[in-house]
Structure 1
Amino acid sequence: MNVSADPGDRYVVGVDYGTLSGRALVVRVADGAELGTAVHEYRHGVMDTVLAVDGGALPADWALQDPEDYRQVLRRAVPAALAASGVDPARVVGIGIDFTACTVLPTLADGTPLCEVPELRTRPHAWVKLWKHHAAQPHADRINALAHERGEPWIGRYGGKISAEWQYAKGLQLLEEDPEVYRRADRWIEAADWIVWQLCGVETRNVCTAGYKGIHQDGRYPSREYLAALHPDFVDFVVKLDGPLLPLGARAGGLTAEAAAWTGLPEGIAVAVGNVDAHVTAAAAQALEPGRLVAIMGTSTCHVVNGAELAEVAGMCGVVDGGISAGSWGYEAGQSGVGDIFGWFVKHAAPAGYDSHEALTAAAAAQPVGAHGLVALDWWNGNRSLLVNHDLSGVVVGLTLATRPPDVYRALLESTAFGTRMIIEAFDAAGVPVHELVIAGGLTTNTLLMQIYADVTQRPLGVIGSTQGPALGSAIHAAVAAGAYPDVPAASAVMGRVERDVYRPDPRRARAYDALYAEYRRLHDHFGRGAEDMLLRLRAIRNAARRAADTLPAEAAEVSLEVVA
């Protein structure tokens, strides 16, 4: 449907910062109509093998980004989206952004990223740590062990485990591996809050990332005594997090003259408080009511749902008062690899003739449930929920000489659905009901995958009525920040969109999946909850081999690996 701009209407811009690119979307305030969009790919993408500035090798499980790539989204994507929309920039009243999380960076007191300080350019710890930087798993393990040992009251709010992806694990890694960069960091700030700082010139923190990623509960951060027990020099960590904490949909400030020049937007318009890409999508999907779980499916999946009551759910990412919308307890869980797993198989494991998602999906769709004889664990990028362990890795069981590429591909699709079912069952068991799923993200176009999720979870699936869910959600929050609506639910009701019950579970397939799911759970508990730590040992051997290869001649590296093994 073609939507044209009306010179008398007001508009807002939503900017969605993803893993590899940023997208800008121009939206009409009156009805949520999407008029123009543009994407800017990050020049440096994800630095996970070498540091772009000098080519220096990065250790295993690192994932860094360049904050200048984020600024370029404002300079490139926003003006391009405006041009595509035909909207007069003078009619734009607000801008909102969302970000992957926990994506975090160290800065000076004025917001300058430490990677832009000349003498720190070649220090990897001075750069942005992307959400999937998983090298801080040992630090997360210590954070969790000490919290349980001391009986810290906040640990239950995070399902009993703080993730290696979150602020504290990455911050402790920074302190212990590069104390100078840690000392130079006046601020340790989520990229969502940092880009808002760039837009309005005012440092703010949003309640969403502060709660889920920054252990801010009941009005406070972890105590100095706890932090000192982790490491004497970690006692000041919360000082680096300190900043005005604002609710979602609030006005962080007005667009600065510099940011107006970048974006082509009017100086002084409302800049909304930052948000997380998954959480902001709930408003776009009109899914703020308790019991309606939104699964934002892309490279990874984040599951968010509002609840009327506070509950502690084992293995989830967190529960935060107002973390999704004011007046409800917002719950988050997630899977660290989903689309990335499917993409890995197509790129690295599928032979000619099956080297596309379309070809594999068509062949896999022709199979009855269970015909491949396989079950897989969806841990190619570790496990975010419910095990909260990023040293875990993927498993496929049942391979034979008769196994073909579509068999494995379907098993991988199903494994992610099984992981989502485990999350839903954990919510239900803790008294947080999930009645319906709403799916957002690029994977909604795979109808086989969507039907598998409906059959496996045995719940109806709705699909967000926008291909730009996070950007639309950010635009909705921008409209609230600009004063166009009294609150986020009111704006969501008008500007959001969803198609409900697009996929319904088939009883016959659902019964067949019950049998496969039982095998998934056995495999999940064997490698993730039992005494078998083979996956962790394999990870340790791999990391040791890589370290040896980076520092030793080939012959010596082989000897070193033999010693480790």
Structure 2
Amino acid sequence: MKKSAYFIGLDGGTGGARAIVADLDGKVVAMATHEYETTFPRAGWAEQTPADWWHAACLAVRQAVHMSGISPADISAISADGTSSTLVALDRDGKPTMPAILWMDNRASPQARRMMETNDAALRRSRLGVSSEWMIPKILWIKEDRPEIYERSRWFVEMADYLAFRMTGRLTLGLNQITNRWFYDGRRGGWPEEFYGKIGLGDITGRFPDEILPLGASIGRIAPEAADAMGLSPYTKVVAGGTDAYVAMVGLNVCEPGRTAFITGSSHLVLPMTDKDIEVPGIFGPHPDCVVPNLFVMEGGQVSSGSIIRWWHDHMGKLVGSGPDAYARMLREAGDIPLGADGLIALDFWQGNRNPYIDYDLQGALWGLTLKHTPAHMLRALLESIAYGTENILRTLARHDVAVETMVICGGATRTPFLMQMHADVCGIPIVVPKVLEATALGSAIAAAVGAGFYDSLAEAAASMVAEDHVVEPDMRRNEQYGEVFDFYRDTHAALAALMHRMARRGERKPGMEAAAFPRASVRDLKPRRQAAL
């Protein structure tokens, strides 16, 4: 075996591109990042520019290779993951026809609700609701609300597919993404053509690339122009990636039944691996074969978690001062507030709720304010609401005999021991912290090692390339106290949900613009609004 082999994991995240260079043992020898911008044209909308991804990816990879001091000839393969359900519409020449619709965008809520009305068998992995974040509702939104763009769009792909396309010139689809976000089921005939027809997308599979590749499959050599832009050898292999959080499961060695990944960042995800084809109402899945063949992934997610903390820092952080330590200082002050935030209760539904309610018309909330409360109390309540959202998912799984006894964590929360301890205490389970915290990028590097032929499977590669650092144990006394406050969190949702739905309907559409019921969907003959240069 070639011991000088190295692999690049390219993580296309919400805030920017991150590239790591790792060896066969999973040691990260270099890492570089480059940010890109997200725009929010309307409430609930979020867009990015695909050209920005590519520019950031090239800069990050080139810098990481330079920092590593490794010859490009020794980098055997590269694999890229991307944010899940970030829709890229391309014309016949592979050029974007509009800005990418980011994963967190919920403009397609009406389409998602109407899709549920079909009660089609394709919905078995999302019985309580279709997420407006997913690709099919977003494509349907384009067809109904931007028909001219839809007609110009020859292909629809995910962010990871687009990055692979820019690296190779080959347009492929990742099995990983289409299984957990496009209603594809390789065990039940593949594409649900009948379902697509019911919702008004009967011709849509003709706009999907034909070649479907599993995570870790080789796509081919990098294109010369891409190799030059990234500072790589033209002999470097490009390997199929997938959804960022699912790729992180590999980077956390969650490749066997009974193990659970806990992905933290702008959003949180709880991802148990199981060998049981079991449905849990309120939880997405079971998604077959999308990471490891013959196994299933269950998915419970929070749309807003780290993004709430970031919002507070950006808009309210000035209340605790400025400077490089402002972020850490505001968290320290929140950490000094007593458990339960002296009676403040918050809901973490700032971009709706993904699981277990699957309700994108919910909004954030904060109540219980008195004149004794300070901004630190408010932040403490917001932080607790994020942990309660995770606990809500775990309780839903437990009620249906999917017990999560420990979680392996990665992402933003690992930088703040206080937040990890809060999650362990609220959920009452140990949280395992790996040595390499950038599990998503490491997972892509592991996929690259498999695609280059250095390991026979993702499970084998992860067992060799992932190592545990320490475990955060829960304080069960505090777990009992948090349980009392959690009841207020759950009851607050029940009390406010109807009001939140009224508010969402109030701003959803202008008078006279209501969507028609299936099978005839209203199509507005509007010119596309002016877009930023792609």
2:527 aligns with none
Equivalent position amino acid for 2:424 in 1: A
Contact 1:288 1:305 in 2 (8 A): no
Distance, in Å, in 2 between the alignment partners of 1:379 and 1:543 is 17
* Residue 72 (structure 2) pairs with residue 89 (structure 1): yes
Secondary structure of 1:341's counterpart equals helix
Equivalent position amino acid for 1:314 in 2: P
Offset from partner CA, 1:328-372 (integer Å, 9 cap, x none): 101222111111111222332355236633223222222332251
Distance, in Å, in 2 between the alignment partners of 1:352 and 1:526 is 31
1:506 aligns with 475
Contact 2:21 2:68 in 1 (8 A): yes
Equivalent position amino acid for 1:300 in 2: S
Distance, in Å, in 2 between the alignment partners of 1:328 and 1:544 is 42
1:485 aligns with 455
Shift of the alpha carbon at 1:382?
A: 1.2
Secondary structure of 2:40's counterpart equals coil
Cα distance change of structure 1 residues 281 and 500 upon mapping to structure 2, 3 Å threshold: same
* Runs of 5+ unmatched residues, structure 2: 513-534
* Residue 456 (structure 2) pairs with residue 461 (structure 1): no
Of 370, 378, 384, 1:408 maps to 378
Secondary structure of 1:440's counterpart equals strand
Q: Quote the RMSD (CA, aligned, Å).
A: 2.1
Contact 2:128 2:357 in 1 (8 A): no
1:377 aligns with 347
2:216 aligns with 249
Counterparts of 1:79-478 in structure 2 under 5 Å? 79-114=62-97, 126-146=98-118, 148=119, 152-217=120-185, 218-220=187-189, 223-231=192-200, 234-350=201-317, 352-353=319-320, 356-370=326-340, 372-478=342-448
Residue-pair matches, total: 508
Distance, in Å, in 2 between the alignment partners of 1:454 and 1:520 is 18
Contact 2:337 2:376 in 1 (8 A): no
Offset from partner CA, 1:71-121 (integer Å, 9 cap, x none): 11332111110010011110011001111111111112443222xxxxxxx
Contact 1:284 1:472 in 2 (8 A): yes
1:46 aligns with 38
Distance, in Å, in 2 between the alignment partners of 1:346 and 1:311 is 40
Secondary structure of 1:372's counterpart equals helix
* Runs of 5+ unmatched residues, structure 1: 1-6, 50-58, 115-125, 548-565
Contact 2:317 2:327 in 1 (8 A): no
Equivalent position amino acid for 2:166 in 1: Q
Equivalent position amino acid for 2:288 in 1: D
Shift of the alpha carbon at 1:228?
A: 3.1
Percent identity, aligned pairs only, is 32
1:558 aligns with none
Distance, in Å, in 1 between the alignment partners of 2:229 and 2:117 is 46
Equivalent position amino acid for 2:382 in 1: L
Shift of the alpha carbon at 1:9?
A: 0.9
Counterparts of 1:512-523 in structure 2 under 5 Å? 512-523=481-492
Contact 1:75 1:263 in 2 (8 A): yes
Distance, in Å, in 2 between the alignment partners of 1:350 and 1:198 is 39
Distance, in Å, in 2 between the alignment partners of 1:94 and 1:399 is 54
Offset from partner CA, 1:421-468 (integer Å, 9 cap, x none): 111122222232211011110221211111110111110011132232
Cα distance change of structure 1 residues 64 and 367 upon mapping to structure 2, 3 Å threshold: closer
Offset from partner CA, 1:24-73 (integer Å, 9 cap, x none): 111112x111111111122xx11213xxxxxxxxx432211111112113
Distance, in Å, in 2 between the alignment partners of 1:94 and 1:377 is 43
Distance, in Å, in 2 between the alignment partners of 1:546 and 1:418 is 37
Offset from partner CA, 1:187-218 (integer Å, 9 cap, x none): 11111112112212222211111011110013
Distance, in Å, in 1 between the alignment partners of 2:477 and 2:443 is 37
Shift of the alpha carbon at 1:305?
A: 1.8
Secondary structure of 1:352's counterpart equals helix
Offset from partner CA, 1:385-404 (integer Å, 9 cap, x none): 11222221101121111111
* Residue 472 (structure 2) pairs with residue 534 (structure 1): no
Cα distance change of structure 1 residues 342 and 41 upon mapping to structure 2, 3 Å threshold: same
Distance, in Å, in 2 between the alignment partners of 1:109 and 1:219 is 30
Distance, in Å, in 1 between the alignment partners of 2:88 and 2:141 is 13
1:78 aligns with 61
Question: Greater relative contact order: 1 or 2 (C-alpha under 8 angstroms, separation 6 or more)?
Answer: 2
Distance, in Å, in 1 between the alignment partners of 2:433 and 2:64 is 24
Question: TM-score normalised to the size of structure 2?
Answer: 0.91
Shift of the alpha carbon at 1:546?
A: 13
Distance, in Å, in 2 between the alignment partners of 1:188 and 1:362 is 45
Cα distance change of structure 1 residues 225 and 294 upon mapping to structure 2, 3 Å threshold: closer
Greater shift in the superposed pair: 359-368 or 172-181: 359-368
Distance, in Å, in 2 between the alignment partners of 1:306 and 1:288 is 7
Of 64, 74, 90, 2:47 maps to 64
Distance, in Å, in 2 between the alignment partners of 1:405 and 1:343 is 15
Equivalent position amino acid for 2:195 in 1: Y
Distance, in Å, in 2 between the alignment partners of 1:64 and 1:347 is 19
Distance, in Å, in 1 between the alignment partners of 2:86 and 2:162 is 10
Distance, in Å, in 2 between the alignment partners of 1:32 and 1:363 is 37
1:21 aligns with 16
Distance, in Å, in 1 between the alignment partners of 2:22 and 2:340 is 44
Secondary structure of 2:456's counterpart equals coil
Question: TM-score normalised to the size of structure 1?
Answer: 0.86
Distance, in Å, in 1 between the alignment partners of 2:303 and 2:489 is 17
